[in-house]
Amino acid sequence: MLGLLTSIMRVFEIPMAFLQRILGIKHLAWVFLAPNLILFFLFAFLPVFLNVVYALTGGDQILLRDRAFVGADNFAVLASCDNYLDPNTCQKDLFWRAVHNTGWFIVLQIGFMIGFSLLTALVLNRDIRARGFFRSVFFFPVLLSPVVVALIWKWILQRHGLMNAGLDAMGLEPVLWMLEREWTFFWSVFLSIWAHMGFYTLILLAGLQAIPRDVYEAALMDAATPFRTFSRITLPLLMPTMLVVMVLALIKGVQTFDEVYAFSGGGPGSATTLLIQYVYETGFAGAPRLFGLASAASIMLALVLVVLTGLQLWATRKNADG
């Protein structure tokens, strides 16, 4: 075996020695990085570059040679609005409805999800009975496919679904959960939290378990109340983990598409149309297929995401620096 390995190494020895002589020892690292860099270029940088190119062109053709250069027109069309708070005054009202929906979705989803995850992690961190079972129960929805999550909740919430059967059994009037805009939006946020909460709970639980026990023992000896212990010890020491959770939840929240699309199709009307669905429908499902507009919308979304992530990272560093 060793002999075989030595033989293989010898096969590479000659070309590597040759490359080292030509490039020098410092630049030889690029040779080793090349395979990864090529893959990265092909599957990450090139698509981003192409996306930018498409955003600067117009028409409904997919091949670049058939598309006209329109400069920043696609961005201008998307940004054309009298009042950004009222989508009806915007040229692309559906884009701005999607922006509003996504904004509210992120605020509510991240806020409630972190709150519930923290609460769950705190409970699961205590010495309760069947702790392992409950940890699995809360993590289980994370393992489900987004489409399965959407269908489960659709069956529960539809007109003749489980929820209305329950209300009916209690003698109450059924509620059209999936036909009222506000209710559908609420349930979209809810199912998203339900599906992802377990993942963030797990991270926060790891963060909680990393807090040294002796700090709590000292607080106990000082007769600190549970609330004071939580606000002065747990929360500050958990903050770096919380920031990681926030960044992850933000990125995941902005990218939300599949579960909400399968749940409500973006409706009723456009009540649950999120930005990624707008990009998908504009570029692929609609007619004509406006690849340029879809690319421009995705770039605007990416820029917002970069800014928000940057702000959070800055906050993390500031926090770490004390």
Tokens of 61: 């053709």
CA distance 322 to 318: 6
Nearer to other proteins, 51 or 312 (CB): 51
Nearer to other proteins, 22 or 63 (CB): 63
Residue 58 belongs to what H/E stretch?
strand 57-58
Looking at the DSSP bridge assignments, the partners of residue 46 are none
Nearer to other proteins, 88 or 225 (CB): 88
Minimal distance, residue 66 CB to other proteins, in Å: 9
Minimal distance, residue 162 CB to other proteins, in Å: 16
What is the total residue count of the chain? 322
CA distance 138 to 200: 10
Residue with tokens 């605020």: 107
Residue 133 one-letter amino acid: F
CA distance 124 to 143: 19
Minimal distance, residue 240 CB to other proteins, in Å: 39
Residue 90 one-letter amino acid: C
Minimal distance, residue 253 CB to other proteins, in Å: 19
Contact residues: other proteins, CB under 8 A: 58-63, 88, 93-94, 97, 158-160, 176, 178-179, 181, 264-273, 277, 281, 284-290
CA distance 121 to 147: 26
Nearer to other proteins, 47 or 310 (CB): 47
Nearer to other proteins, 28 or 73 (CB): 73
Minimal distance, residue 159 CB to other proteins, in Å: 6
